[in-house]
C-alpha cells in the first residue's frame, strides 16, 4: 500500500503481492471513515437473486454512503479502478465499493450529474475481513482490470 502524497481524489494505491512477488496489478483507493456503520436490508426481488440475497436468506444488507458528484465524476475518469473504502471506526472493519461499476449499474439512468452528491450502497459482504479469508479475490478482480483491457487490445490488434 502506497500513500498518494497529493490527494486529489486518490488516497493510496494498493499493489497486490503474491508470496512476496509484486504482480503489477493495482487499485486506487479513496478512504473515508465513519464512527459506526449501520446496515439496512433490501427485500428479495423475485426477478433476480444476487449472491448477497442467497447468502443472507433473501435479504441484501447494505450501508448507504454519500459521495460528492465531483468525486463520482473523478472516479469515472480514472485509468485504474478506483474503489471507495469506508472504515467503520467502532466495528473495526473496512467496507469497499468499486465506484465506476456502481455508477454504471445503479446510477446510469438517473440524472445524478446535476446533483451535489449521490448516495451509494455498499454491500455488507464487501468487507476486508471477509476478503482476507479468500485471499482478497474481490479486490484482485478489480486490480486485474487494466491487464484485461490490455488483453482485449492485443486480441483486437491480432484480429485486424
Rounded to an integer, the average pLDDT of 68-89 is 91
Q: Residue 49's pLDDT band (boundaries 50, 70, 90)?
A: low
From the number of C-beta atoms within 10 Å of its C-beta (0-12, 13-18, 19+), residue 65 rates as middle
Q: Residue 2's pLDDT band (boundaries 50, 70, 90)?
A: confident
Name residue 95's beta-bridge partners: 86, 127
Rounded distance between C-alpha atoms, residue 44 and residue 46, angstroms: 6
Answer yes or no: is pLDDT of 145 > 60. Answer: yes
For every residue of 80-114, DSSP letters joined together read S-EEEEEEETTTTEEEEEEHHHHIIIIITTS-GGG
All three cell numbers of 106, joined, read 445503479
Domain boundaries, the chain: 2-159
Answer yes or no: is pLDDT of 50 > 90. Answer: no
Rounded distance between C-alpha atoms, residue 101 and residue 78, angstroms: 12
Q: Which residue has the higher pLDDT, 40 or 44?
A: 40
Q: Are 52 and 95 in contact (CB under 8 A)?
A: no
**pLDDT, averaged across the chain:** 84
In the block, cell 491480432 appears at 158
Amino acid at each position: 500500500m502506497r500513500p498518494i502524497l497529493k490527494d486529489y481524489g486518490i488516497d493510496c494505491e494498493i499493489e497486490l503481492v503474491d508470496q512476496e512477488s509484486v504482480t503489477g496489478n493495482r487499485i486506487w483507493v479513496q478512504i473515508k471513515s465513519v464512527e459506526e456503520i449501520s446496515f439496512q436490508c433490501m427485500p428479495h426481488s423475485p426477478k433476480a437473486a444476487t449472491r448477497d440475497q442467497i447468502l443472507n436468506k433473501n435479504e441484501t444488507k447494505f450501508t448507504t454512503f454519500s459521495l460528492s458528484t465531483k468525486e463520482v465524476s473523478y472516479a469515472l475518469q480514472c485509468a485504474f479502478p478506483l474503489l471507495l473504502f469506508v472504515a467503520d471506526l467502532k466495528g473495526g472493519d473496512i467496507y469497499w465499493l468499486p465506484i465506476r461499476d456502481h455508477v454504471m449499474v445503479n446510477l446510469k439512468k438517473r440524472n445524478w450529474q446535476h446533483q451535489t452528491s449521490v448516495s451509494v450502497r455498499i454491500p455488507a459482504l464487501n468487507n476486508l475481513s471477509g476478503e482476507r479469508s479468500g485471499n482478497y479475490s474481490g479486490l484482485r478482480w478489480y486490480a486485474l482490470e487494466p491487464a484485461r483491457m490490455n488483453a482485449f487490445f492485443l486480441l483486437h490488434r491480432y484480429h485486424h
